[in-house]
Structure 1
Amino acid sequence: MESNEIKIAVVGLGYVGLALSVEFGHKYPTIGFDTNQQRITELTDFSDHNQEITPQQIKSARQLQFSYQPQAIADCTIYIITVPTPVDNFKKPNLTPLLTATQMVAEVLKKNDIVIYESTVYPGCTEEDCVPVLEKYSGLVFNQNFFCGYSPERINPGDKTRTLTQIQKITSGSTPETAQQIDALYQSIIEAGTYVAPSIKVAEAAKVIENTQRDLNISFVNELALIFDKMGIDTTEVLQAAATKWNFMPFKPGLVGGNCISVDPHYLLHKSQSLGYHPQVILSGRSVNEKMGAFVASKLIKTMLQRGITINGSEVLVMGITFKENCPDIRNTGVIDVIKELNEYGVKTAVYDPRANAAEVQQEYDIRLLQNLEARYHGIILAVPHQEFLSIDFQALKKDRFSVIFDIKAVLDKKIADIRL
């Protein structure tokens, strides 16, 4: 494929797809596609509610257009699929968005087109699950009439330094020639360089273990926090002391959420179990991390009881509902586990987060965010340390001297916080 033949369709305009669309739109004719008409209207007006891409960045992508109509991408030659790959209520991979997008692309696929997947999947998903759909609905033959690749996304929501072009990109293709074409395509926008994986499965596996490794490392320090809590030792102080050794990895305990770390291990677990292997370490790590919300709620309740506070009907402020600091992303947030647990104790919870979209929180979790901080509370949980929260007078939020402040990420002075993970 010559450079003047390249016309790119990016299917799915979330955190990953929009960033890709903008960068490719600087160099190639690009269509940013999403089935959400409201999202397309927003982007056409140069606005990104995720606060990742500025209006000027969208405007500067001179060759970029947006559409929610499938026929708009019919004349593209490269299709990059960046739709979500969530898990269902039973923690099993939900490939519906991926396969639906794949079918839509297949229906407009032409000879010599290339389909690249960036969505996180288990090893083998592209060739075993997606390619058959492409063949069925296009009538074309894989690696004869069309080709595929996999280049795992490495977007870090909220990070304004390690942006798309500044993170090395893994690429792969279904044939050696396709791999080189795909690598050259990404090299044209990725300043940090690329790495060509020897196969699509290797690229898929590399992505899924990146976040599984982080999940396991966090689960280790979370388990330490549970142990040290029983010993009456401050976990943060232990980690600070241990970090004086040059090869100690500085992970912190906390709630594990988001669309990557809390989800990706389940994709690897699913594939492993389908092959007859029951992974124990990965399952154990997931189990620890999924219990942290209940632990945080229980620890707060116990401390409030020790101070003579009546739990039923007590008021607790939860500060932050996004899955990480300085970011509006609420997907799979671990904070919701804390809130649900507190509600079961009969606590009246109030949630404040100036970064989160109030309408999205209402729709996703049926929680109405506070517009400001005026009331006083028996308990205050600093769940997500947004920059705005670090200058707040936490003492002024306490109902009385018995009120409890729980700093989950240990960012406050120890004199302020009554409890830290």
Structure 2
Amino acid sequence: MSGTQNQINTSLYEHFPDKIQIAVIGLGYVGLPLAVILGQKYSTIGFDIDYQRITELQNYTDSTHELTEPELREATNLVFTSNAEHIQSATIYIVAVPTPIDRFKRPDLSYLLAASHTIGRILKKGDIVIYESTVYPGCTEGDCVPVLVKESGLIYNQDFFCGYSPERINPGDRSRPITSIKKVTSGSTPEIAEVVDQLYKSVITAGTFKATSIKVAEASKAIENAQRDVNISFMNELALLFDRLDIDTQDVLDAASTKWNFLNFRPGLVGGHCISVDPYYLLHKAESVGYYPQVLLSGRRINDQMGVYIANKVVKLMIKKGHRIEGSRVLVLGITYKENCSDIRNSKVVDLIKELEEYGITVDVWDPWASAEQVKEKFNLTLQQPSNRYEGIVLAVAHDSFLNTDIESLKLDDCVIYDVNGLLEKAKHTSRM
């Protein structure tokens, strides 16, 4: 190791943790909880380009409903800003911005690269940039680092360093806060890997796992959600089969799950920003090296068609009950991608709604968790509380609040009730996944 390299690393250790200042870039479902726990211990700046988001957080309000006002107030060392000049003093930058896919289902790195441009312009010698956004293996050092180098004029792993620690937030799950989920960490040199690991270990009570490289850490995140996607696709394929055999899929799974080593995945709509997106990042990287993974591709194909399948199933059930399809009314309960969560990104419920509308059905949509403005802007759909009586009702998302919904008061005679997530007792639905 050169004398300069040794001097920088020694300086980092000397300044850790007493004099470090952290900037968290992106304050969504991932960045905000992270900024809050860091802000309880370190001088932390939460940065987001969304001025409205910053304003609400400065008033201790979280529109995603992940954190309460008291929890936001606990981060006494945390301030929020939308001005990039205010994060110039940071020594550690943590990037937690979205990594979606485009309409062709290719990785969209625009947010990630924009954040890298912003940081690169203010990067200083000795700084560390840690990425948390889900990417394909090699993205941090192959796509982001060159931007940091170009913008800063600094030398990677001599003047500045990088780390990668994949996010493991579970939106809507109050039983698993960020501190209770073990964190994978990594760094661009062995010394930096240790610094990154110690940083997270100091705020994550569940502990950390130090990966052997940044690529390994990136790959670990990619396969976490790809594995769930494939397993759920198998359950969805079984649901398609058992429907033709006139067998209740949930009954089969209840029986099979009595064996200790049966993996109790359930069929359903696979949406959201992780499970329905991350496999495409792995697919992109695989194809770039000439490998075409069949299991990942088949799993995605099955899961992507389930919204249309459910809509067609509901229509067939309505026909059996003698309903005229065109002009009938169907109520869809839930539009977020998962239960007890306000996130509507990549919601597969939309596929279900659009397919029903193709039949000439009038579809009412209600979701107490979702933002009516965001749903209108994103999907051109209007949320409204149920005010009619319906020929069909689809429980698309298993929000706890729907358990208290008086479904009987919303039914017309011979109403079809389709339960996507097994929320209702058998006697209260017509069919389920």
**TM-score, normalisation: structure 2:** 0.96
Structure 1 residue 5: Cα displacement:
2.6
8 A Cα contact 1:83 1:119, kept in partner: yes
| Deviation by residue 1:265-288 (Cα, 9 ceiling, x = unmatched) | 000000000100011000000000
Structure 2 match to 1:387: 400
Amino acid at match of 2:135: V
8 A Cα contact 1:47 1:55, kept in partner: yes
Structure 1 residue 360: Cα displacement:
1.1
8 A Cα contact 2:337 2:343, kept in partner: yes
Structure 2: gaps (5+ residues): 1-11
Amino acid at match of 1:376: R
Structure 1 residue 411: Cα displacement:
1.8
Structure 1 match to 2:6: none
| Deviation by residue 1:361-407 (Cα, 9 ceiling, x = unmatched) | 1111111101x32211010000001111112232221122x210000
Structure 2 match to 1:338: 352
Structure 1 position 8 matched with structure 2 position 6:
no
Structure 2 match to 1:289: 303
CA distance in 2, matches of 1:394, 1:406: 12
Structure 1 match to 2:431: 419
Alignment of 1:148-159 (within 5 A): 148-159=162-173
CA distance in 2, matches of 1:381, 1:62: 44
Structure 1 match to 2:293: 279
| Deviation by residue 1:234-263 (Cα, 9 ceiling, x = unmatched) | 000000010111100111100000100000
Structure 1 residue 216: Cα displacement:
0.4
8 A Cα contact 1:322 1:356, kept in partner: yes
Alignment of 1:52-71 (within 5 A): 52-71=66-85
Secondary structure of 2:209's partner? Answer: strand
Structure 1 match to 2:420: 408
Structure 2 match to 1:34: 48
CA distance in 1, matches of 2:151, 2:387: 57
CA distance in 2, matches of 1:85, 1:351: 28
Alignment of 1:17-416 (within 5 A): 17-370=31-384, 372-400=385-413, 402-416=414-428
8 A Cα contact 1:5 1:77, kept in partner: no
Amino acid at match of 2:334: G
Structure 1 residue 4: Cα displacement:
2.7
CA distance in 1, matches of 2:177, 2:215: 25
Amino acid at match of 2:111: P
Amino acid at match of 1:113: D
Structure 1 segments of 4 or more deviating over 6 A? none
Amino acid at match of 2:432: R
Amino acid at match of 2:108: N
| Deviation by residue 1:21-68 (Cα, 9 ceiling, x = unmatched) | 111101111000000000000000000000001111111111100000
Structure 1 residue 305: Cα displacement:
1.0
Mean CA deviation greater in 221-230 or 58-67: 58-67
Secondary structure of 2:412's partner? Answer: coil
Secondary structure of 1:5's partner? Answer: coil
Amino acid at match of 2:248: D
8 A Cα contact 1:117 1:149, kept in partner: yes
Secondary structure of 1:4's partner? Answer: coil
CA distance in 1, matches of 2:423, 2:255: 16
CA distance in 2, matches of 1:245, 1:397: 40
CA distance in 2, matches of 1:58, 1:244: 42
Amino acid at match of 2:72: I
8 A Cα contact 1:121 1:204, kept in partner: yes
CA distance in 2, matches of 1:9, 1:392: 43
Structure 1 residue 355: Cα displacement:
1.0
Structure 1 match to 2:7: none
CA distance in 1, matches of 2:428, 2:225: 33
Aligned residues: 419
8 A Cα contact 1:394 1:416, kept in partner: no
| Deviation by residue 1:142-176 (Cα, 9 ceiling, x = unmatched) | 00000000000000001111110000000000000
**TM-score, normalisation: structure 1:** 0.99
| Deviation by residue 1:127-147 (Cα, 9 ceiling, x = unmatched) | 000000000000001000000
CA distance in 1, matches of 2:168, 2:75: 21
Structure 1 residue 328: Cα displacement:
1.0
CA distance in 2, matches of 1:363, 1:267: 26
CA distance in 2, matches of 1:93, 1:313: 40
Mean CA deviation greater in 359-368 or 101-110: 359-368
CA distance in 1, matches of 2:406, 2:19: 59
| Deviation by residue 1:287-343 (Cα, 9 ceiling, x = unmatched) | 000010010000000111111111111100000001111111111111011011111
CA distance in 1, matches of 2:358, 2:129: 47
CA distance in 2, matches of 1:245, 1:264: 30
Secondary structure of 2:427's partner? Answer: coil
CA distance in 2, matches of 1:38, 1:220: 41
